[in-house]
Homo-oligomer: A and B are copies of this chain.
Amino acid sequence: MLTRKGEQTRARIVAGAADEIRERGVDEVRLEDVMARTRTSKSQLFHYFPDGKEQLLLAVARHEADRVLDDQQPMLGDLTSWAAWERWRERVVERYREQGTDCPLTIVMGHLGRRSAGAQSVVDGLMTRWQAALADGIRHMQASGEMPGELDADRAAAGLLAGVQGGVLLLLSSGRTEHLEAALDLAFTGLRGSATGRW
């Protein structure tokens, strides 16, 4: 059981670890660094995360994953017109432009990605919710006749999501947002266009 003080400390640790990772990368982060930044001792770390570093990283991943969709609100939840889609687009580009080369989630993921089933599910959950929000928007647009009714909303959302992910990935290594923007534009063109695809 956690007391109020305990919760504060735990939260401080997670946030501090997240910052540390953002700044220096997962591999470079020692527990000692987290301790220094959060003014905690080793026994506290292992008190709140008995399974050690792995568990802490997972908590950080969850913490970061939660932020991703929040940062896209309220746009993401209201994709009901082309203007709204454009606003969402701008927000996404802006958010990742600011973030630049430091994508904490990708970092943490890339680190414990495959091995930990927990990490897997964090990402899966995030992507699923993200895709669902996009699919909702697409269905909305179809209902109002602004996107072709023939296309499979879920599949289109999957493709759009992939474009965003790839754009961000390329941003991480190039530092430029042009791939992300191009991917969004190309996807939008597909969403607008005549339904000649294999939908």
A32 at the B interface (CB under 8 A)? no
Contact status B182-A156, CB under 8 Å: yes
Q: How many copies does the complex hold?
A: 2
Contact status B193-A109, CB under 8 Å: no
Residues of the B chain whose Cβ atoms lie less than 8 Å from the Cβ of A190: 186-190, 193
A180 at the B interface (CB under 8 A)? yes
A50 at the B interface (CB under 8 A)? no
Type the 1/0 row for A172-197, where 1 means its CB is closer than 8 Å to any CB of B: 11100011101111111111111111
Contact status B179-A162, CB under 8 Å: yes
Write the chain B residue with the least CB distance to A27.
B111
Bound CA–CA A111/B160 (angstroms): 27
Least CB distance, A143 to chain B, in whole angstroms: 20
Contact status A199-B183, CB under 8 Å: no
Type the 1/0 row for A109-141, where 1 means its CB is closer than 8 Å to any CB of B: 111011100001001100100000000000000
Bound CA–CA A186/B148 (angstroms): 13
Residues of the B chain whose Cβ atoms lie less than 8 Å from the Cβ of A192: 193-194, 196-197
A16 at the B interface (CB under 8 A)? no
Least CB distance, A58 to chain B, in whole angstroms: 15
A158 at the B interface (CB under 8 A)? yes
Residues of the B chain whose Cβ atoms lie less than 8 Å from the Cβ of A169: 162, 165-166, 169
Least CB distance, A158 to chain B, in whole angstroms: 4
Bound CA–CA A61/B110 (angstroms): 15
Contact status A167-B174, CB under 8 Å: no
A149 at the B interface (CB under 8 A)? no
Residue of A27, A114, A191 with most partner-chain B CB within 10 A: A114
Query: What are 11 residue pairs bridging A and B, where the CB atoms are less than 8 Å apart in the complex?
Result: A27-B27, A109-B173, A113-B172, A123-B173, A155-B185, A159-B184, A159-B187, A163-B163, A186-B187, A189-B190, A192-B194
